Structure 1
Amino acid sequence: MRPYILAVCSILVAPAAAWAQPKPDPDWPCVQRRVATIAPAAIWSGPDLEKAGAWGSDPPVAALAQRLASRRTTLEEADTLLEGFAREAGPDRKEKLTRLFSGILALTNAERSRVLEGITRYARGQERLAERIRDEADRISAAKDSPQAEAPKDIAALETSFAWDKRIFEERSQALNYVCEVPTLIEERLGEIARRIEARL
Protein backbone atom coordinates (compact mmCIF):
# COMPACT_ATOMS: atom_id res chain seq x y z
CA MET A 1 0.00 0.00 0.00
CA ARG A 2 1.40 3.37 -0.98
CA PRO A 3 2.47 5.80 1.79
CA TYR A 4 -0.24 8.32 0.97
CA ILE A 5 -2.90 5.59 1.18
CA LEU A 6 -1.57 4.62 4.62
CA ALA A 7 -1.64 8.28 5.63
CA VAL A 8 -5.23 8.79 4.59
CA CYS A 9 -6.27 5.65 6.46
CA SER A 10 -4.52 6.76 9.64
CA ILE A 11 -6.11 10.21 9.76
CA LEU A 12 -9.61 9.19 8.66
CA VAL A 13 -10.24 5.92 10.51
CA ALA A 14 -10.35 7.35 14.05
CA PRO A 15 -12.66 10.30 13.32
CA ALA A 16 -14.85 8.13 11.12
CA ALA A 17 -15.20 5.61 13.94
CA ALA A 18 -16.17 8.36 16.35
CA TRP A 19 -18.72 9.81 13.94
CA ALA A 20 -20.10 6.33 13.17
CA GLN A 21 -21.26 5.71 16.74
CA PRO A 22 -25.06 5.73 17.04
CA LYS A 23 -26.15 9.20 18.12
CA PRO A 24 -29.46 11.05 18.16
CA ASP A 25 -27.74 13.67 15.96
CA PRO A 26 -25.44 12.08 13.35
CA ASP A 27 -23.78 15.46 12.70
CA TRP A 28 -22.68 15.85 16.32
CA PRO A 29 -18.94 15.01 16.54
CA CYS A 30 -18.30 15.40 20.28
CA VAL A 31 -18.00 12.72 22.95
CA GLN A 32 -20.16 14.90 25.19
CA ARG A 33 -23.86 14.34 24.60
CA ARG A 34 -25.60 17.21 22.85
CA VAL A 35 -28.09 18.92 25.14
CA ALA A 36 -30.04 21.64 23.37
CA THR A 37 -30.67 23.91 26.36
CA ILE A 38 -29.58 24.21 29.98
CA ALA A 39 -32.61 23.52 32.17
CA PRO A 40 -32.98 25.79 35.22
CA ALA A 41 -33.38 22.79 37.53
CA ALA A 42 -29.88 21.61 36.61
CA ILE A 43 -28.17 24.64 38.17
CA TRP A 44 -30.74 26.77 40.01
CA SER A 45 -32.23 25.99 43.42
CA GLY A 46 -33.62 29.48 44.08
CA PRO A 47 -37.17 30.83 43.66
CA ASP A 48 -39.36 29.95 40.70
CA LEU A 49 -38.05 31.89 37.70
CA GLU A 50 -41.46 32.14 36.07
CA LYS A 51 -42.83 34.07 39.05
CA ALA A 52 -40.04 36.65 38.99
CA GLY A 53 -41.48 38.62 36.07
CA ALA A 54 -40.14 39.39 32.61
CA TRP A 55 -36.47 40.28 32.89
CA GLY A 56 -36.48 42.07 29.54
CA SER A 57 -39.02 44.64 30.77
CA ASP A 58 -36.74 45.69 33.65
CA PRO A 59 -33.96 47.84 32.02
CA PRO A 60 -31.43 47.67 34.90
CA VAL A 61 -31.89 43.90 35.16
CA ALA A 62 -31.65 43.45 31.39
CA ALA A 63 -28.46 45.53 31.18
CA LEU A 64 -26.78 43.61 33.99
CA ALA A 65 -27.94 40.28 32.58
CA GLN A 66 -26.20 41.15 29.31
CA ARG A 67 -22.95 41.90 31.11
CA LEU A 68 -23.03 38.81 33.31
CA ALA A 69 -23.98 36.48 30.44
CA SER A 70 -20.95 37.66 28.48
CA ARG A 71 -17.93 35.38 28.87
CA ARG A 72 -15.76 38.48 28.68
CA THR A 73 -16.97 39.35 32.18
CA THR A 74 -14.79 37.51 34.71
CA LEU A 75 -16.27 35.87 37.79
CA GLU A 76 -14.45 38.42 39.93
CA GLU A 77 -16.12 41.24 38.01
CA ALA A 78 -19.43 39.40 38.29
CA ASP A 79 -19.05 39.32 42.08
CA THR A 80 -18.54 43.08 42.22
CA LEU A 81 -21.51 43.74 39.93
CA LEU A 82 -23.77 41.39 41.89
CA GLU A 83 -22.78 42.91 45.19
CA GLY A 84 -23.66 46.40 44.02
CA PHE A 85 -26.91 45.27 42.39
CA ALA A 86 -28.07 43.37 45.49
CA ARG A 87 -27.29 46.34 47.71
CA GLU A 88 -29.22 48.80 45.53
CA ALA A 89 -32.20 46.45 45.13
CA GLY A 90 -33.07 46.83 48.80
CA PRO A 91 -36.22 44.97 49.91
CA ASP A 92 -36.85 43.79 46.33
CA ARG A 93 -33.47 42.05 46.25
CA LYS A 94 -34.79 38.48 46.12
CA GLU A 95 -37.24 39.16 43.30
CA LYS A 96 -34.76 41.22 41.27
CA LEU A 97 -31.93 38.70 41.67
CA THR A 98 -34.24 35.91 40.57
CA ARG A 99 -35.32 37.97 37.56
CA LEU A 100 -31.67 38.69 36.84
CA PHE A 101 -30.78 35.01 36.74
CA SER A 102 -33.74 34.34 34.45
CA GLY A 103 -32.23 36.82 31.99
CA ILE A 104 -28.72 35.40 32.30
CA LEU A 105 -30.07 31.91 31.68
CA ALA A 106 -31.98 32.97 28.56
CA LEU A 107 -29.01 34.87 27.12
CA THR A 108 -26.57 32.06 27.92
CA ASN A 109 -28.81 29.45 26.31
CA ALA A 110 -29.02 31.62 23.18
CA GLU A 111 -25.24 31.92 23.00
CA ARG A 112 -24.76 28.22 23.71
CA SER A 113 -27.22 27.36 20.94
CA ARG A 114 -25.08 29.34 18.49
CA VAL A 115 -22.00 27.46 19.70
CA LEU A 116 -23.73 24.09 19.17
CA GLU A 117 -24.70 25.06 15.63
CA GLY A 118 -21.12 26.18 14.98
CA ILE A 119 -19.78 22.81 16.15
CA THR A 120 -22.21 21.00 13.85
CA ARG A 121 -21.05 23.12 10.89
CA TYR A 122 -17.44 22.40 11.89
CA ALA A 123 -18.10 18.65 11.84
CA ARG A 124 -19.83 18.81 8.46
CA GLY A 125 -16.83 20.69 7.09
CA GLN A 126 -14.54 17.94 8.38
CA GLU A 127 -16.67 15.29 6.72
CA ARG A 128 -16.52 17.12 3.39
CA LEU A 129 -12.75 17.51 3.74
CA ALA A 130 -12.38 13.81 4.59
CA GLU A 131 -14.29 12.94 1.41
CA ARG A 132 -11.99 15.17 -0.63
CA ILE A 133 -8.87 13.57 0.90
CA ARG A 134 -10.18 10.10 0.07
CA ASP A 135 -10.93 11.20 -3.48
CA GLU A 136 -7.46 12.72 -3.86
CA ALA A 137 -5.82 9.53 -2.58
CA ASP A 138 -7.83 7.45 -5.07
CA ARG A 139 -6.89 9.77 -7.93
CA ILE A 140 -3.19 9.64 -7.03
CA SER A 141 -3.29 5.85 -6.80
CA ALA A 142 -5.11 5.54 -10.12
CA ALA A 143 -2.74 8.01 -11.81
CA LYS A 144 0.36 6.10 -10.69
CA ASP A 145 -1.01 2.62 -11.39
CA SER A 146 -2.48 3.38 -14.80
CA PRO A 147 -0.50 2.20 -17.84
CA GLN A 148 -1.18 5.64 -19.29
CA ALA A 149 0.06 7.54 -16.25
CA GLU A 150 -0.45 11.26 -16.02
CA ALA A 151 2.49 13.58 -16.43
CA PRO A 152 4.73 13.77 -13.33
CA LYS A 153 3.85 17.43 -12.84
CA ASP A 154 0.12 16.56 -12.75
CA ILE A 155 0.71 13.83 -10.17
CA ALA A 156 2.89 16.21 -8.16
CA ALA A 157 0.05 18.76 -8.15
CA LEU A 158 -2.36 16.09 -6.88
CA GLU A 159 0.08 15.07 -4.15
CA THR A 160 0.58 18.70 -3.10
CA SER A 161 -3.17 19.19 -2.83
CA PHE A 162 -3.50 15.93 -0.88
CA ALA A 163 -0.72 16.88 1.56
CA TRP A 164 -2.21 20.33 2.16
CA ASP A 165 -5.74 19.00 2.76
CA LYS A 166 -4.38 16.28 5.06
CA ARG A 167 -2.54 18.86 7.12
CA ILE A 168 -5.66 21.04 7.45
CA PHE A 169 -7.74 17.99 8.42
CA GLU A 170 -5.28 16.97 11.13
CA GLU A 171 -5.09 20.49 12.58
CA ARG A 172 -8.87 20.81 12.63
CA SER A 173 -9.21 17.37 14.24
CA GLN A 174 -6.87 18.43 17.05
CA ALA A 175 -8.81 21.68 17.53
CA LEU A 176 -12.10 19.77 17.73
CA ASN A 177 -11.27 18.54 21.24
CA TYR A 178 -11.19 22.13 22.47
CA VAL A 179 -14.22 23.16 20.43
CA CYS A 180 -16.26 20.37 22.00
CA GLU A 181 -15.41 21.64 25.49
CA VAL A 182 -16.94 25.08 24.91
CA PRO A 183 -20.60 24.16 25.66
CA THR A 184 -19.48 22.49 28.90
CA LEU A 185 -17.42 25.52 29.90
CA ILE A 186 -20.41 27.77 29.25
CA GLU A 187 -22.62 25.59 31.44
CA GLU A 188 -20.03 25.48 34.23
CA ARG A 189 -19.71 29.27 34.18
CA LEU A 190 -23.49 29.68 34.33
CA GLY A 191 -23.66 27.29 37.28
CA GLU A 192 -21.05 29.33 39.13
CA ILE A 193 -22.95 32.56 38.52
CA ALA A 194 -26.14 30.87 39.71
CA ARG A 195 -24.44 29.92 42.99
CA ARG A 196 -23.18 33.46 43.48
CA ILE A 197 -26.62 34.91 42.93
CA GLU A 198 -28.24 32.39 45.28
CA ALA A 199 -25.73 33.34 47.97
CA ARG A 200 -27.16 36.88 47.87
CA LEU A 201 -30.87 36.04 47.89
Structure 2
Amino acid sequence: MRVTVPVALLLTALIGGASLTARAAPPQADPDWPCHQRLVPELTGATYWNGPALPDHADWRHDKAVAAVVLAVSPRDVPTEEGEKTLAAFADKVPKARRAAVYPKAFAAIVEEVNRQRGDVIARLKSLAHRQREVGDLVSQATNELQAIPADVTDPDKRQQRAEIVQRRDYLIRSFEEVERTLRYTCEVPVDLEARLGSYARVLGDRLAP
Protein backbone atom coordinates (compact mmCIF):
# COMPACT_ATOMS: atom_id res chain seq x y z
CA MET A 1 0.00 0.00 0.00
CA ARG A 2 1.21 3.48 -0.76
CA VAL A 3 2.66 5.48 2.12
CA THR A 4 0.56 8.57 2.62
CA VAL A 5 0.63 11.38 5.14
CA PRO A 6 -2.52 12.41 7.05
CA VAL A 7 -3.88 15.73 5.86
CA ALA A 8 -3.70 17.18 9.37
CA LEU A 9 0.01 16.44 9.51
CA LEU A 10 0.50 17.95 6.08
CA LEU A 11 -1.25 21.13 7.13
CA THR A 12 0.82 21.30 10.28
CA ALA A 13 3.95 21.05 8.19
CA LEU A 14 2.69 23.75 5.87
CA ILE A 15 1.80 26.14 8.68
CA GLY A 16 5.25 25.59 10.11
CA GLY A 17 6.79 26.49 6.77
CA ALA A 18 8.02 22.98 5.97
CA SER A 19 8.10 21.58 2.46
CA LEU A 20 4.99 19.58 1.56
CA THR A 21 6.73 17.78 -1.27
CA ALA A 22 9.40 16.30 0.97
CA ARG A 23 6.77 14.81 3.28
CA ALA A 24 4.23 13.70 0.68
CA ALA A 25 6.16 10.84 -0.90
CA PRO A 26 8.75 8.28 0.22
CA PRO A 27 12.30 8.74 -1.09
CA GLN A 28 12.78 7.15 -4.50
CA ALA A 29 15.43 7.25 -7.22
CA ASP A 30 12.78 8.74 -9.49
CA PRO A 31 11.29 11.86 -7.84
CA ASP A 32 8.12 11.46 -9.89
CA TRP A 33 7.40 7.94 -8.60
CA PRO A 34 4.90 8.38 -5.75
CA CYS A 35 4.24 4.79 -4.68
CA HIS A 36 5.67 2.83 -1.78
CA GLN A 37 6.23 -0.14 -4.08
CA ARG A 38 9.57 -0.21 -5.89
CA LEU A 39 9.33 1.08 -9.43
CA VAL A 40 9.69 -1.73 -11.97
CA PRO A 41 9.30 -0.08 -15.38
CA GLU A 42 8.87 -3.36 -17.27
CA LEU A 43 8.04 -6.91 -16.23
CA THR A 44 10.00 -9.91 -17.50
CA GLY A 45 8.03 -12.99 -18.45
CA ALA A 46 10.74 -15.38 -17.27
CA THR A 47 10.15 -14.16 -13.71
CA TYR A 48 6.82 -15.98 -13.69
CA TRP A 49 7.26 -18.67 -16.34
CA ASN A 50 8.73 -22.11 -15.64
CA GLY A 51 7.90 -23.76 -18.95
CA PRO A 52 9.68 -23.89 -22.32
CA ALA A 53 11.69 -20.82 -23.30
CA LEU A 54 9.60 -17.77 -24.11
CA PRO A 55 10.05 -16.32 -27.60
CA ASP A 56 11.85 -12.98 -27.72
CA HIS A 57 9.56 -11.50 -30.32
CA ALA A 58 6.36 -13.51 -30.59
CA ASP A 59 4.40 -12.73 -33.76
CA TRP A 60 1.20 -13.47 -31.90
CA ARG A 61 -1.16 -11.05 -33.62
CA HIS A 62 -1.20 -13.22 -36.75
CA ASP A 63 -2.31 -16.26 -34.75
CA LYS A 64 -6.05 -15.68 -34.43
CA ALA A 65 -6.60 -18.05 -31.52
CA VAL A 66 -3.69 -16.67 -29.50
CA ALA A 67 -4.53 -13.06 -30.32
CA ALA A 68 -8.14 -13.58 -29.28
CA VAL A 69 -7.29 -14.99 -25.85
CA VAL A 70 -4.53 -12.44 -25.22
CA LEU A 71 -6.85 -9.54 -25.93
CA ALA A 72 -9.56 -11.18 -23.83
CA VAL A 73 -7.52 -11.76 -20.66
CA SER A 74 -5.02 -8.88 -20.67
CA PRO A 75 -7.19 -5.76 -20.10
CA ARG A 76 -6.78 -4.60 -16.51
CA ASP A 77 -10.53 -4.23 -16.02
CA VAL A 78 -10.98 -7.99 -16.57
CA PRO A 79 -11.18 -9.72 -13.15
CA THR A 80 -8.30 -12.15 -12.66
CA GLU A 81 -10.64 -15.07 -11.94
CA GLU A 82 -12.52 -14.42 -15.19
CA GLY A 83 -9.25 -14.16 -17.09
CA GLU A 84 -8.06 -17.45 -15.62
CA LYS A 85 -11.20 -19.23 -16.80
CA THR A 86 -10.90 -17.78 -20.30
CA LEU A 87 -7.23 -18.71 -20.50
CA ALA A 88 -7.90 -22.21 -19.19
CA ALA A 89 -10.62 -22.77 -21.79
CA PHE A 90 -8.18 -21.71 -24.52
CA ALA A 91 -5.36 -23.84 -23.11
CA ASP A 92 -7.48 -26.98 -22.86
CA LYS A 93 -8.31 -26.78 -26.57
CA VAL A 94 -4.66 -26.80 -27.64
CA PRO A 95 -3.50 -30.32 -28.56
CA LYS A 96 -0.89 -31.62 -26.12
CA ALA A 97 1.65 -32.01 -28.91
CA ARG A 98 1.47 -28.27 -29.63
CA ARG A 99 1.29 -26.88 -26.11
CA ALA A 100 5.05 -26.50 -25.67
CA ALA A 101 5.01 -24.13 -28.65
CA VAL A 102 1.66 -22.37 -28.23
CA TYR A 103 1.66 -21.72 -24.49
CA PRO A 104 4.98 -19.82 -24.40
CA LYS A 105 3.86 -17.66 -27.30
CA ALA A 106 0.54 -16.92 -25.61
CA PHE A 107 2.18 -16.05 -22.30
CA ALA A 108 4.84 -13.87 -23.93
CA ALA A 109 2.04 -12.02 -25.70
CA ILE A 110 0.15 -11.52 -22.44
CA VAL A 111 3.31 -10.14 -20.82
CA GLU A 112 3.71 -7.74 -23.75
CA GLU A 113 0.15 -6.46 -23.37
CA VAL A 114 0.40 -6.18 -19.59
CA ASN A 115 3.63 -4.23 -19.91
CA ARG A 116 1.96 -1.85 -22.34
CA GLN A 117 -0.87 -1.22 -19.90
CA ARG A 118 1.48 -0.91 -16.92
CA GLY A 119 3.51 1.61 -18.88
CA ASP A 120 0.41 3.76 -19.34
CA VAL A 121 -0.44 3.50 -15.63
CA ILE A 122 3.13 4.34 -14.57
CA ALA A 123 3.12 7.42 -16.82
CA ARG A 124 -0.20 8.45 -15.26
CA LEU A 125 1.19 8.00 -11.75
CA LYS A 126 4.24 10.11 -12.51
CA SER A 127 2.05 12.82 -13.98
CA LEU A 128 -0.14 12.82 -10.88
CA ALA A 129 2.88 12.95 -8.60
CA HIS A 130 4.29 15.91 -10.51
CA ARG A 131 0.95 17.68 -10.21
CA GLN A 132 0.82 16.85 -6.51
CA ARG A 133 4.16 18.51 -5.89
CA GLU A 134 3.04 21.60 -7.79
CA VAL A 135 -0.16 21.82 -5.74
CA GLY A 136 1.84 21.33 -2.55
CA ASP A 137 4.12 24.23 -3.49
CA LEU A 138 1.08 26.41 -4.16
CA VAL A 139 -0.40 25.53 -0.76
CA SER A 140 2.91 26.42 0.88
CA GLN A 141 2.93 29.73 -0.95
CA ALA A 142 -0.65 30.50 0.07
CA THR A 143 0.16 29.59 3.68
CA ASN A 144 3.08 32.04 3.71
CA GLU A 145 0.83 34.74 2.27
CA LEU A 146 -1.77 34.02 4.93
CA GLN A 147 0.76 34.23 7.74
CA ALA A 148 1.79 37.67 6.53
CA ILE A 149 -1.71 39.05 7.27
CA PRO A 150 -2.84 38.78 10.91
CA ALA A 151 -6.17 37.09 11.49
CA ASP A 152 -7.39 40.12 13.47
CA VAL A 153 -6.43 42.68 10.82
CA THR A 154 -8.88 45.60 10.75
CA ASP A 155 -8.05 47.19 7.41
CA PRO A 156 -10.96 46.32 5.03
CA ASP A 157 -8.70 45.77 2.02
CA LYS A 158 -6.39 43.50 4.00
CA ARG A 159 -9.34 41.58 5.40
CA GLN A 160 -10.66 41.04 1.88
CA GLN A 161 -7.22 39.99 0.70
CA ARG A 162 -6.91 37.52 3.56
CA ALA A 163 -10.35 36.06 2.84
CA GLU A 164 -9.36 35.50 -0.79
CA ILE A 165 -6.15 33.76 0.25
CA VAL A 166 -8.07 31.49 2.63
CA GLN A 167 -10.49 30.58 -0.15
CA ARG A 168 -7.67 29.85 -2.61
CA ARG A 169 -5.75 27.81 -0.04
CA ASP A 170 -8.81 25.75 0.88
CA TYR A 171 -9.39 24.97 -2.80
CA LEU A 172 -5.77 23.88 -3.22
CA ILE A 173 -5.95 21.65 -0.16
CA ARG A 174 -9.07 19.96 -1.54
CA SER A 175 -7.25 19.42 -4.83
CA PHE A 176 -4.32 17.90 -2.96
CA GLU A 177 -6.61 15.52 -1.09
CA GLU A 178 -8.34 14.48 -4.32
CA VAL A 179 -5.05 13.65 -6.04
CA GLU A 180 -3.90 11.82 -2.91
CA ARG A 181 -6.96 9.56 -3.06
CA THR A 182 -6.38 8.91 -6.75
CA LEU A 183 -2.74 8.04 -6.12
CA ARG A 184 -3.64 5.67 -3.30
CA TYR A 185 -5.87 3.68 -5.65
CA THR A 186 -3.74 3.90 -8.77
CA CYS A 187 -0.57 2.77 -6.99
CA GLU A 188 -2.15 -0.65 -6.58
CA VAL A 189 -2.79 -1.14 -10.30
CA PRO A 190 0.78 -2.10 -11.36
CA VAL A 191 0.94 -4.55 -8.45
CA ASP A 192 -2.39 -6.12 -9.42
CA LEU A 193 -1.26 -6.53 -13.04
CA GLU A 194 1.96 -8.15 -11.87
CA ALA A 195 0.08 -10.61 -9.66
CA ARG A 196 -2.17 -11.46 -12.58
CA LEU A 197 0.81 -12.60 -14.63
CA GLY A 198 1.69 -15.10 -11.93
CA SER A 199 -1.83 -16.47 -12.00
CA TYR A 200 -1.87 -16.78 -15.77
CA ALA A 201 1.53 -18.49 -15.77
CA ARG A 202 0.18 -21.11 -13.37
CA VAL A 203 -2.91 -21.74 -15.53
CA LEU A 204 -0.73 -22.55 -18.52
CA GLY A 205 2.06 -24.24 -16.58
CA ASP A 206 -0.32 -26.69 -14.92
CA ARG A 207 -1.40 -27.87 -18.37
CA LEU A 208 2.12 -28.43 -19.63
CA ALA A 209 2.67 -31.34 -17.26
CA PRO A 210 2.58 -34.73 -19.02
TM band (smaller chain): 0.7 to 0.9
Give the match's secondary structure for 1:177. helix
**Structure 1 segment 17-36 matched on structure 2, within 5 A:** 17=23, 19=25, 21=27, 23-36=28-41
Q: Give the direction of change, closer, same or farther, for the CA distance of 1:176–1:13 in structure 2 (3 Å limit).
A: farther
Match of 2:86 among 58, 81, 84: 81
Q: Which moved more, 1:127-136 or 1:140-149?
A: 140-149
Range with bigger deviation, 102-111 or 79-88: 79-88
Q: For residue 188 of structure 2, what is the aligned residue in structure 1?
A: 181
The equivalent position to 1:56 in structure 2, one of 51, 61, 64, is 61
Q: Distance in 1 between matches of 2:18 and 2:189?
A: 24
Gap runs ≥5 in structure 1? none
Closer, same or farther: CA 57–47 of 1 in aligned 2, 3 Å: same
For each residue in 1:78-121, what CA deviation from the matched residue of structure 2 results, as whole angstroms up to 9, or x when unmatched? 33323332233223233112211111000000100111111100
Superposed structure 1 runs of 4+ greater than 6 Å apart: 145-149
Partner of 1:46: 51
C-alpha separation in 2, matches of 1:48 and 1:40: 10
Normalized against structure 1, the TM-score is what? 0.83
1:105-158 Cα deviation digits (max 9, x unpaired) = 000001001111111001000000001111111222224389978432222111
> CA 1:33 to 1:87, structure 2 compared with 1: closer, same or farther past 3 Å?
closer
* Aligned residue among 193, 197, 201 for 2:204: 197
SS in 1 for 2:94: helix
Aligned residues: 196
Higher helix share: 1
State the Cα deviation string for residues 39-59 of structure 1 (Å, max 9, x = none): 122211111111794222212
